[in-house]
Amino acid sequence: MKLHEYQSKQLFAKFGIPIPRGRVAATAHEAKQIAEELGGRVVIKSQVLVGGRGKAGGIRLAKTPEEAESLATQILMMEIKGLPVRKVLVDEAANINKEIYLGITNDRSLRMPVMMASSAGGVDIEEVARVSPEKIIRESIHPLLGLRDYQARDIAVGIDLAREHWKVFGQIANGLWKAYQSADATLAEINPLVITAENKLLAVDGKMVLDDNALFRHSDLNEMRDLDVEAESEIEARKYGLSFIKLDGNIGCMVNGAGLAMTSMDIIKLFGGEPANFLDIGGGANAEKVAAALRIILSDRNVKAVLFNVFGGITRGDEVARGILTALKEVKTKVPMVIRLVGTNAEEGRRILADAHMITAETLAEAAQKAVNVAKGA
């Protein structure tokens, strides 16, 4: 689960990280009032759960409350990467001299969290990571020992931070670690952590991703979930116990097993296609679940083909086939379906589907190629 910037920064503040004064608003009128309270220049920031808001025009500086109101009006009408903006954060504008990147995530190969920092922070950090990875300093954090003071100092030295900032930087790094650890996060990020014209450190942006599997022990954080901005299909999928993640491509994927689902997506890409989703219908999926999954996949108008890849073990091929037919009775569609079915009762399943004029395939490679071709309209 992703937290909004304003939620992340509230959490950061609890752990002693300096953040700008500001509040969130749902209307332009409120934004104006907040700007008046803050008395001066403010920054109007779209609250959507994607990165790159600045480049998309979703972060704007306002010199007066009137300007704050008109910018908020504009931003509240925007859609950023397909997500509607429903709230803006109105923060006191910072006078920025320098932008630093500071973040923590899990390093799976080391099996430890890793803190990363760069003196080249800001909106181009992905580019920095790609082109000059040596500009990113890393310190792995032992989960039982926590972030050690010397590690925070090493990072400060590594990013050429002036001596006078080390102490506060150490507090910020430690606060970020505490926020990350206590929330069971998989990402905690300040980008940018700025040095202001007044020579103060300030967390201007914040981002946190929480581990869904640990949310049961964080009822306070779970309440921050913003259903408004989650893709409707993902909310619907959760109701049926389906693991579903919406993506931008045009080939819908219906697969049983997370690993097989990943593999199917890889192979679609290998043959030049783009998956429209990740979907694991789970073991033992019955007709009802398959029907729900198909409805969810087809609710995405980008979908030009659906690839079924079902490896029957506990899941029975004939059940899956019947689920597909049930779903197709409800959801009238012309989207072509390519089906690869192997394992338990696969032959029976294939017979049911062949009678219904579906495209079948023996191997995953063949199925993926066929799906890519029909999606291209071949």
Where does this chain bind ligand GDP (CB under 6 A)? 43, 45, 51-54, 59, 61, 91, 93-94, 96, 99, 122-123, 191-192, 204-205
Number of neighbouring beta carbons within 10 Å of residue 17: 26
Verify binding: residue 91, Mn ion, rule CB under 5 A: no
| Residue closer to Mn ion, measured from CB, 103 or 175 | 103
Residue 94: contacted member of Mn ion, ligand GDP, none (CB under 5 to 8 Å, by partner type): ligand GDP
C-alpha span between 92 and 259 (Å, rounded) = 46
Q: How far is the CB of 248 from Mn ion (least distance, A)?
A: 21
Verify binding: residue 344, Mn ion, rule CB under 5 A: no
| Residue closer to Mn ion, measured from CB, 32 or 45 | 45
Q: How far is the CB of 122 from ligand GDP (least distance, A)?
A: 4
Verify binding: residue 174, Mn ion, rule CB under 5 A: no
Closest C-alpha among 247, 254, 268, 284 to residue 364: 268
Residue 59: contacted member of Mn ion, ligand GDP, none (CB under 5 to 8 Å, by partner type): ligand GDP
Using H for helix, E for strand and C for coil, what is the string for 259-322?
HHHHHHHHHHHHCCCCECEEEECCCCCCHHHHHHHHHHHHCCCCCCEEEEEEEECCCCHHHHHH
| Residue closer to Mn ion, measured from CB, 207 or 370 | 207
State both tokens at 30. Answer: 């409120």
Residue 52: contacted member of Mn ion, ligand GDP, none (CB under 5 to 8 Å, by partner type): ligand GDP
| Residue closer to Mn ion, measured from CB, 193 or 279 | 193
- Pairing type for strands 277-280 and 243-246 reads antiparallel
Q: How far is the CB of 13 from ligand GDP (least distance, A)?
A: 16
State both tokens at 88. Answer: 């803006």
Number of neighbouring beta carbons within 10 Å of residue 154: 15
Active site residue: 92, 101, 139, 180, which one? 101
Q: How far is the CB of 47 from ligand GDP (least distance, A)?
A: 10
Q: How far is the CB of 88 from ligand GDP (least distance, A)?
A: 12
Strand partners, 203: 193
Residue 96: contacted member of ligand GDP, Mn ion, none (CB under 5 to 8 Å, by partner type): ligand GDP
- Whether a cis peptide bond, with omega within 30° of 0, leads into 192 is yes
Q: Which residues contact 39 (CB under 8 A, 6 or more apart)?
A: none
C-alpha span between 298 and 63 (Å, rounded) = 46
Please say if 66 is a catalytic residue.
Answer: no
Q: Which residues contact 151 (CB under 8 A, 6 or more apart)?
A: 115, 139, 141, 173
Active site residue: 92, 139, 189, 319, which one? 189
Residue 139: contacted member of ligand GDP, Mn ion, none (CB under 5 to 8 Å, by partner type): none
Please say if 101 is a catalytic residue.
Answer: yes
Within 182-211, the residues that bind Mn ion by CB under 5 A are: 191, 205
C-alpha span between 371 and 339 (Å, rounded) = 9
Residue 43: contacted member of ligand GDP, Mn ion, none (CB under 5 to 8 Å, by partner type): ligand GDP
3-state secondary structure of 358: coil
| Residue closer to ligand GDP, measured from CB, 35 or 93 | 93
| Residue closer to ligand GDP, measured from CB, 208 or 335 | 208
Distance between start and end Cα atoms, the chain? 39
Q: How far is the CB of 79 from ligand GDP (least distance, A)?
A: 15
Catalytically active residues are 101, 189
**Site residues (CB under 5 A) for Mn ion?**
191, 205
